[in-house]
Structure 1
């Protein structure tokens, strides 16, 4: 990434403002010694702004950057002394959004261990599989998960909240030295259709990744940011990295609750909110507070924006919405700002500075605007492969996202869905997202999902699952007639199933396997 662009962006976002020389020197020294991993980012923030609040929890307890670093270092020493954690070990973290999760990730990184961010929605059986496949030495977990971790293999050491706090309090202070290897972050893929895989995240090697994001999403140094997206997810973890780099104050709640989130946004005077799309839907279902939150940025990622959600949200909370399309494997691919979302509510936007994005056909050749193909992405933060040793297809420095999409004549990206979600009905290709977005515009519909089910005549047919707003009713034939009016006949769902809610994982993605199970039950 070219230096003038980096300097201009950092200046615009308030990161190159003058400071006390001794603190600026300590900040640069922290990055030089520890690098750009999460431990280095925390160290540089604590060196520059030690007394600034780093984290506010749901009880309103405030932890400064200096305190957060001290607690993380104490936990690292305790894990090394009491549990024998060494460079290269893997430490699982099964926690909701709270300061202890942050301390655990940083502590593992300080020791050169790999932190495995574990989805809080995993069952006991899935957790046991993850622990075995990721070769966990230690699992740090919240008290609520004690039953879920009870049957893990004996060699996996458990560290619950009380034991973690005892290590923090009981460990001696003193400087830790950089380990001989960088601790990696391992994020588990969503696992909406199968078992989650571990994806090794690379360590940034400079300002480039940060600049790519904050150039398009206008976050500033020392903002107050609520991270509602789960920190174990790529998007939530990316938000944490950005906040440390900005020396922001981070507001965390263990669980997402719409009313409590809105109250916190007002009480803490949050400048920004990181969320997943389904959270915006939930926020619109409760009365907006007065005064409204002073939000300048609402950044979402993790799943597709349902049709109509973007303008409805901005009508209530202002033109502050930014939609980042990416994945665990490619980090980011494109970003859509408020103007683009007003003009085309389902767009994923354009590739940010330093990112290459191409739509390729089956032979690996670029397709013309408007034609659907495979989405390939290149940037500084492509993943390093799965922990199983496998990877995704690469072409000319670009990585296959596994999604299908198209670019319009203006260069805006539209994502049609996962390649393996495409439904072939009577020889015609149908993308569930197109049908879902259309049905979601019906005023009675709270949320919609479409899957393909076997059909003896057409190979597959469409089944739609609808959750309605309280008190609403809808006739299945009216749904079919509505789709028939706007789309081709092969896009009309033969089966219309009404459910109380759609099954989703912790990041808001609909679990297709659960819909199939429900359909055949």
Structure 2
């Protein structure tokens, strides 16, 4: 990424403002010494703005950047001296969004330890599998998961919230030095269709990744940001990285509640909200507060935006919505801002600066504009492979996302869904996401999911699962006729199933495997 673009973007976003020379020197030295790991990002923030609030928890805990760094360092020293944790080890972190989660991740990176961010929605059996496959040396968990961890091997040390606080309080004096190896962040794939895999996230090598994001999403230095997306997820963790780089004040709630989130946005005068799309749906189901939150940015990622959600949300909260399309493996691929979402509510936008995006056929050749192809992405934050040793297909430095999509004549990306979600019904290729987007626009429908199921005559057929707003009703044949009016006959779902709610994982993705249980 070219230097003039980096400097211009950092200036626009308020990161190159004058300050006390001694603090600026200390800030730059922190980055030079510790690099761009989470530990380095926190150190530079504490060096430049030590007294600035870093985290505000829902339970009233407020930590400055200096206090947060001190606590993380104390925990790192205790993990090393009392528990024998050392560089190259892996620890599991099973926590919701609160300061203890962040302190633990930073402590790991201070020691050169890999932190495995464990999905809070995993079952006890899945957790046992993760602990074994990731060869965990230690598990740090919230108290609410005490029963879930009971089945783990007795030799695996576990720290609940009280034990973690005792480590922080009882740290011995000492000095921490940059580890010989960077501690990696390992994010577990969402596991909507099977067991989650560990994906090794790279450590940024400079300003490039930050600039790619804040050039397109107008976040500024010292913003106040509520991170509602789970930090164990790629999107929530990316929000944390961006906030540290911007020396932002981070507001955290352990669980997402729409009314409480809106109240916190107003109380803490938040400039930005990081969320997943289903959270926007829930926010629209409660009355907007008066006054409205002073939001300038609502950034979402993690799953597709349902049809019609973007304009509905912006009609209530203003043109502040930014949708980032990416994955655990490729980080980001494209970003859609308010103008693009007004023009085409289901678009994934355009690739940011420094990102390559190609639609390729099965032979690795580019497909024409408007034709569906496999989405391949190249940027400087592609993952380093799965912890199992497996990777994904690459072509000319571009990584396969596993999704199918198309580019419009004006360069907008549209994602048609996972390659393995596409079905062939009676010889026709059918994308369930297209039908989902259409059904989501029915006023009676709260949320919709469409999947392919076996069919003895056509090979596969579509089944639609609809959760309606309270008090609403729909007739299955009316649903089919609605789809028939707008789409081809092979896109009409032959099965229409009404459910109270759609099964989702902790990041808001619909669990297709749970829906397929309706078919044995």
- 1:236 match: 236
Give the secondary structure class of the aligned counterpart of 1:88. coil
Taking the TM superposition and a 5 Å limit, the aligned residue runs for 1:187-202 are: 187-202=187-202
**Deviation, structure 1 residue 173:** 4.2
**Deviation, structure 1 residue 172:** 2.9
Deviations 1:462-506 (A, max 9, x none): 100000000000000000000000001100000000000000001
Alpha-carbon distance between aligned partners in 2 of 1:278 and 1:266, rounded to the nearest angstrom: 21
Give the secondary structure class of the aligned counterpart of 1:311. helix
Query: Contact 1:226 / 1:274 at 8 angstroms: preserved in 2?
Result: yes
TM-score by length of 2: 1.00
Taking the TM superposition and a 5 Å limit, the aligned residue runs for 1:41-52 are: 41-52=41-52
- 1:382 match: 382
- 1:224 match: 224
- 2:344 match: 344
**Deviation, structure 1 residue 60:** 2.7
- 1:323 match: 323
Deviations 1:280-333 (A, max 9, x none): 000000000000000000000000000000000000000000000000000000
1:467 and 2:467 matched: yes
Alpha-carbon distance between aligned partners in 2 of 1:126 and 1:174, rounded to the nearest angstrom: 38
- 1:430 match: 430
Alpha-carbon distance between aligned partners in 2 of 1:410 and 1:27, rounded to the nearest angstrom: 42
- 1:110 match: 110
Give the secondary structure class of the aligned counterpart of 2:283. helix
**Deviation, structure 1 residue 174:** 4.0
1:203 and 2:220 matched: no
1:146 and 2:146 matched: yes
Alpha-carbon distance between aligned partners in 1 of 2:401 and 2:61, rounded to the nearest angstrom: 40
1:515 and 2:519 matched: no
Query: Contact 2:14 / 2:221 at 8 angstroms: preserved in 1?
Result: yes
RMSD of aligned alpha carbons: 0.6
Detail structure 1 runs of 4+ shifted over 3 Å in the superposition. Answer: none
**Deviation, structure 1 residue 59:** 2.0
Query: Contact 1:137 / 1:155 at 8 angstroms: preserved in 2?
Result: no
- 1:36 match: 36
Give the secondary structure class of the aligned counterpart of 2:370. coil
When structure 1 is superposed on structure 2, of 154-163 and 403-412 the one drifting more is: 154-163
Aligned length: 520
TM-score by length of 1: 0.99
Deviations 1:60-103 (A, max 9, x none): 32100000000000000111111110000001000000000000
Deviations 1:404-454 (A, max 9, x none): 000000000000000001111111111111000001100000000001111
Alpha-carbon distance between aligned partners in 2 of 1:134 and 1:153, rounded to the nearest angstrom: 13
Give the secondary structure class of the aligned counterpart of 1:420. coil
- 1:264 match: 264
Alpha-carbon distance between aligned partners in 1 of 2:353 and 2:205, rounded to the nearest angstrom: 16
Give the secondary structure class of the aligned counterpart of 2:7. helix
Alpha-carbon distance between aligned partners in 2 of 1:100 and 1:345, rounded to the nearest angstrom: 37
Taking the TM superposition and a 5 Å limit, the aligned residue runs for 1:4-403 are: 4-403=4-403
- 2:491 match: 491
1:446 and 2:434 matched: no
Deviations 1:195-219 (A, max 9, x none): 0000000000000000000000000
**Deviation, structure 1 residue 520:** 2.4
